[in-house]
Amino acid sequence: MKIAVIGSYCTKFGELWNKSLYDLLAESQIGSLKNANILSNQIDAIYTGNMCSGILSGQLHLSSMATEILNVNCPSISVENACASGGVALRQAILAIESGTAEIVMVNGVEKLTDLDSTDITSALISAGNEEFEHFIGATFPSLNALITRAYMHEYKLTRKQLAHVSIKNHKNAINNPLAHLKKEITIKDFSNATIIADPLTILDCPPISDGAVTLILSSEKFAKNWIKKNTSKKIVYITASTQSSDTLTLSSRNMLTEFKATQIAAQKAYDMAKIKLEQIDVVELHDGFSITEIISLEDLGFFKKGTAGIATEKGLTQLNKKISVNPSGGLKAKGHPVGATGISQAYEIIKQLQHKAGQNQVKNAKIGLTHNLGGCAGTSVIHIFTGE
């Protein structure tokens, strides 16, 4: 598989009070067309990832909104897979090109979360879990992830300090990302005073509620080879693997709480599809929905042995240009987590890395990157591998 990325655009992430859902989507769509130097009527299909617009904005049918913005009539599809909506939308766009039904595809991720209060937003987000067996009895996503954290701490003796270093690293990286929501360093001392959200998770273990949108323009390899002749200043990045796997919706139905089976399955399939070894990956944008999620996912992806990612993180092995550069963008924790846009945002950041346009957060000689996007408590896992040329 070899799908080209010929255009990309990402809005700023944050509390964007002066921009609507429509405004954000329009900005990213139009920005990506300009970046790709193509016209809207060249787009064969559009996929838009979103989770909460129907609940929080009273707006479904984003697929039609996306075509209205561009004044086109091509097939357009909305994609919802909880926090993995963006990653799944990207996968669907790839499959459209792979099937031969489209040559140029636009894929969007958009979310507008900050217009309502935290109670409404929390209720909307837990819809990614089981309404009957989790939300109905009072469970929230922080509380479910707190259970996972406690189980992991008990099994592998993870310390509060080791867990804190996930957020400390990601905040440090976000300072140099102009699009990031939270551009402020945090320290171990900050964790001692941080508000507990669901013990042992504090507010510093959780991502912010963010608004934002991202758009990529994908094409077939054949089109990209002709396109680059007219856009010689550009650098094409190729997607060489796209995989997805699933696990139970309800956390209590899992055999284990300390690993995410869906990620393990998707990861192995991705390495095989891309025909690479784990050691060849230079940079990872990983789904740190909570600090524990990064710890577990590093192990599920194979970068560290089970029970050792906490120690490795504390030692700095996941910092920029160390053993494996993880979330140089700031990740969900600090770049932000507009849920439907997150999976596309991860791809945008990897593309910048492989084009060597990531500024102060550039990973040296980055050639291969990976994105890892989760939905719910890893009920869905989507992995993409990118290669620069």
Domain of residue 188: give its range.
118-208+240-388
Element (H, E) at 284: strand 283-286
Confidence check: pLDDT of 27 > 80? yes
The pLDDT of residue 119 is 87
The pLDDT of residue 117 is 87
Shortest CA distance to 232 belongs to which of 243, 224, 241, 221? 224
Residues 112 and 189 in one domain: no
Residues 213 and 345 in one domain: no
Residues 292 and 366 in one domain: yes
- CA dihedral (20, 24, 26, 30) in degrees, to 10, reads 160
Catalytic residue, from 10, 52, 74, 83: name it: 83
Residues 298 and 359 in one domain: yes
Can you tell me the mean pLDDT for 333-362?
98
Confidence check: pLDDT of 18 > 90? yes
What single-letter amino acid sits at 228?
I
Peptide bond into 200 cis (omega under 30): yes
Residues 300 and 349 in one domain: yes
Confidence check: pLDDT of 358 > 80? yes
Catalytic residue, from 165, 287, 337, 384: name it: 337
Can you tell me the mean pLDDT for 43-72?
97
Residues 364 and 217 in one domain: no
Is 337 catalytic? The answer is yes
The pTM is what? 0.98
- Show the tokens assigned to 185: 């360093």
Can you tell me the mean pLDDT for 28-36?
98
Residues 229 and 193 in one domain: no
Q: Cβ(86)–Cβ(341) under 8 Å?
A: yes
Is 154 catalytic? The answer is no
Three-state SS for 346?
helix
Query: Which of the listed residues 222, 237, 252 is the one where a domain comes to its end?
Result: 237
Residues 187 and 79 in one domain: no
User: Which CATH number is 229's domain given?
Assistant: 3.40.47.10
- Show the tokens assigned to 30: 């139009």
Residues 283 and 231 in one domain: no
* Residue 14 DSSP label: B
What are the CA-CA distances from residue 328 to residues 285, 298, 347 (Å)? Answer: 7, 15, 12
Residues 365 and 293 in one domain: yes
Residues 219 and 353 in one domain: no
Residues 171 and 215 in one domain: no
- Residue 226 CA to residue 234 CA, distance in Å, equals 13
- Residue 375 CA to residue 383 CA, distance in Å, equals 12
Confidence check: pLDDT of 262 > 90? yes
Number of structural domains the chain divides into: 2
- Residue 204 CA to residue 206 CA, distance in Å, equals 6
- CA dihedral (58, 213, 250, 148) in degrees, to 10, reads -130
> CB 230: neighbour CB atoms within 10 A?
8
Q: Write out pLDDT tens, residues 132-185.
A: 999 899 999 999 999 999 999 999 999 999 999 999 999 999 999 999 999 999
Query: Which of the listed residues 237, 255, 275 is the one where a domain comes to its end?
Result: 237
Query: Which of the listed residues 186, 220, 237 is the one where a domain comes to its end?
Result: 237
Q: Write out pLDDT tens, residues 64-96.
A: 999 999 999 999 999 999 999 999 999 999 999
The pLDDT of residue 191 is 95
Can you tell me the mean pLDDT for 356-382?
98
- Residue 271 CA to residue 121 CA, distance in Å, equals 36
Q: Write out pLDDT tens, residues 272-282.
A: 999 999 999 99
Q: Write out pLDDT tens, residues 112-137.
A: 999 988 889 998 999 999 999 998 99
Q: Write out pLDDT tens, residues 200-251.
A: 999 999 999 999 999 999 999 999 999 999 999 999 999 999 999 999 999 9
- Residue 40 CA to residue 33 CA, distance in Å, equals 7
Find the DSSP H helices in the chain.
Answer: 21-36, 62-70, 85-99, 118-125, 141-156, 160-174, 188-192, 221-230, 261-274, 291-300, 309-314, 331-334, 339-354
